[in-house]
Amino acid sequence: MIQLLDVQELINNYTEWLRREITFSKVGEYYEITTPFLNSANDYLQIYVKQEENEIFFSDDGDTIHDLELNGLNFTSARKKLLKQLLASYGVQINGKELTTRGPISMFPQKKHMFVQAMLSVDDMFMVSKGKISSFFLDDIQKFFEENEIYCSDNVQFTGISGYTHVYDFLIQRSKNHPERLCRAINSGTKSNMENVLFAWQDTKPVRKQDSKLIVLLNDGNPIARGVEEGFQNYGAHVLRWSHRNEQKNLSILSAS
């Protein structure tokens, strides 16, 4: 019970921080909402909302895809398919280059949360250095799992104690020797990405089995900000650097047996 109360306080502090840091202004028929979340270019994410009868319409005004293209990313048909799959797990669509979603006015907090998380996920997963030809991290993970017979579910959702829904990239079921394992893939090891994952985990953990574990699949082919690994470890997460994926201790923690 003490642990639950501590977690509840963390969640309350986090949501209070969000309320303090979010700003908005009227732009034509939309409200422009500036969030405290940073993308890979260290710009604050902005979303645009308007009321349409009894629904709220959300848009990113095409900024997410535009920024990725400016960074040198070419969206081939295969990448567009992957993008749509990733967005679908958050209930978000793409129209042209614009990310959109809509929902009842009563669901504004949850829809806004999922929309921002979709923008962050796309920005992280598709972020590549200019001129760099690279496969995408989630594809690499899925291939690795298949090659090593690591059986799991992907794009699973859980509602935390705050009422927010959180998406995990993979769920490896509990077995005789291992507890349930929720996995999040992080392509870019920024402090912002760490904080988002830890909030989701602290919100989700109290509603899962007591021994459930968080595994962070961290792409160390990209820079990792100072303190990110330690931050995850402080909350009991197992950090798996991608370059170390074939080490026995990492294969063991992912094993279904």
Find the CATH number of the domain harbouring 71: 3.30.1460
SS3 of residue 155 by DSSP: strand
Which CATH number goes with the domain that contains 148? 3.40.1350.10
* Domain endpoint, select from 90, 125, 160: 125
Do 41 and 118 lie in one domain? The reply is: yes
The whole-angstrom distance between residue 169's C-alpha and the CA centroid of its chain comes to 8
Is residue 154 left, alpha or beta, with left meaning phi > 0 and alpha meaning psi from -120 to 50?
Answer: beta
Domain membership of residue 115 as a residue range: 22-125
Residue 133 confidence (pLDDT) = 42
Look at 112 and 70; give whichever has higher pLDDT. 112
The residue to which tokens 């109290």 are assigned: 206
> Does 237 share its domain with 157?
yes
Q: Please, are residues 156 and 200 in contact by the beta-carbon 8 Å criterion?
A: no
Residue 203 counted as domain residue: yes
In a domain, residue 9? The reply is: no
Q: Are residues 74 and 105 in the same domain?
A: yes
User: Is residue 152 predicted with pLDDT exceeding 90?
Assistant: yes
For residues 43 and 148, what is the distance between their CA atoms, to the nearest angstrom? 38
Taking a C-beta distance cutoff of 8 angstroms, is the pair 143, 149 a contact? no
pLDDT surpassing 90 at residue 126: no
Q: What mean pLDDT do residues 169-191 have?
A: 94
Q: Tell whether the model's pLDDT for residue 132 goes beyond 60.
A: no
The residue among 68, 101, 125 that closes a domain is 125
- Which of 55-59, 80-84, 94-98, 217-221 bottoms out in mean pLDDT, i.e. has the lowest? 80-84
Q: Which amino acid makes up residue 77?
A: S
Amino acid, single-letter form, for residue 128: V
Tell whether 166 and 249 lie within a shared domain.
yes
**Which residues, in sequence order, are bridge partners of residue 217?**
185, 240
**Does residue 17 sit within a domain?**
no
Total structural domains within the chain: 2
Between 127 and 33, the more confident residue is 33
pTM: 0.80
The pLDDT assigned to 7 comes to: 64
Same domain for 79 and 28: yes
Residues 28 and 109 in one domain: yes
